[in-house]
Structure 1
Amino acid sequence: MTAPEASKGFAEEAQKPYSSKVRDELLRKPPRFERLRVGDGGRIVIPAAMREEMGIKPGDDLVAHVEDGVLHIISFEENLRRIQDEVSKYKKPGESVVDEFLAERRAMWDEE
């Protein structure tokens, strides 16, 4: 009698790739709502069409937060773009925050 082989990673089988016809159809009509199941350790799997719409792939970093009981997930890159867009309205045309910072530091170093 042999010992059962230990499973590696998720117990689920990997998702099969979509055919291009199905993929194109899904991308034209991305799912707005999907029913997901929480697995062992609190894991959820983001459906392929949603990952495609978000522009994420395995290994990408995500940012998540809960607001009023709702889980929001955004890609790190998209979150960075949104923050940059938000703070750009405070920057004056022709102004360089980096140049100002360096000038302040250089002035401080000369004083010491």
Structure 2
Amino acid sequence: MTEPETPEGFAEEPQKPYSSRIREELLRKPPKFERLRVGDGGRIVIPAAMREEMGIKPGDDILAHVEDGVLHLVSYQENLRRIQDEVSKYKKPGESVVDEFLAERRAMWGEE
């Protein structure tokens, strides 16, 4: 009887359990660069300290783009926060863009 073959790719070396005991140390000194291996289907595992630094957890969405051959990853929530910060400089204090939009639509529909 022969031994079953170990599946290749992602199952070869599963990620080691994350030790919460060293969490604070990892967060103080997140690795700036980490060598990652691309697995089957182009999969990579983002190290725990980097996920913490990015503020992401399993199931979260991230955005990716390539610029000049460099892969950039950003959490969806962080990207949304950056966009909101960027466009907030165009909003006047006390101004409600939603209220203005609804007032315009109501006027257009003859409701006001």
Q: Which amino acid aligns with 1:17?
A: Y
Gap change, CA 1:6 and 1:108, over 3 Å in 2: farther
- Specify the alignment match of 2:32 in structure 1: 32
- Specify the alignment match of 2:108 in structure 1: 108
Does the aligned pair in 1 maintain the 2:30–2:49 contact within 8 Å? yes
Q: Which has the higher contact order (CA 8 A, sep 6+)?
A: 2
Q: Which amino acid aligns with 1:59?
A: G
Are residue 61 (structure 1) and residue 61 (structure 2) matched?
Answer: yes
Over aligned residue pairs, what C-alpha RMSD do you find?
A: 2.2
Q: Which amino acid aligns with 1:89?
A: K
Can you give the 5+ residue segments of structure 1 that lack an aligned partner in the other structure?
Answer: none
Other structure's SS at 1:72 match = strand
CA distance in 2, matches of 1:25, 1:92: 42
CA distance in 2, matches of 1:19, 1:108: 57
Does the aligned pair in 1 maintain the 2:27–2:53 contact within 8 Å? yes
Q: Which amino acid aligns with 2:14?
A: E
CA apart distance, 1:16: 1.4
CA distance in 1, matches of 2:102, 2:95: 13
Larger CA deviation: 43-52 vs 11-20: 11-20
CA distance in 1, matches of 2:75, 2:20: 25
Can you give the 5+ residue segments of structure 2 that lack an aligned partner in the other structure?
Answer: none
Q: Which amino acid aligns with 1:62?
A: I
Structure 1 moving runs of 4+ over 3 Å:
1-7
Are residue 45 (structure 1) and residue 45 (structure 2) matched?
Answer: yes
Q: Which amino acid aligns with 2:48?
A: A
CA apart distance, 1:4: 4.1
Gap change, CA 1:19 and 1:87, over 3 Å in 2: closer
Are residue 14 (structure 1) and residue 44 (structure 2) matched?
Answer: no
TM-score (norm 2): 0.85
- Specify the alignment match of 2:77 in structure 1: 77
Other structure's SS at 2:17 match = coil
Other structure's SS at 1:10 match = helix
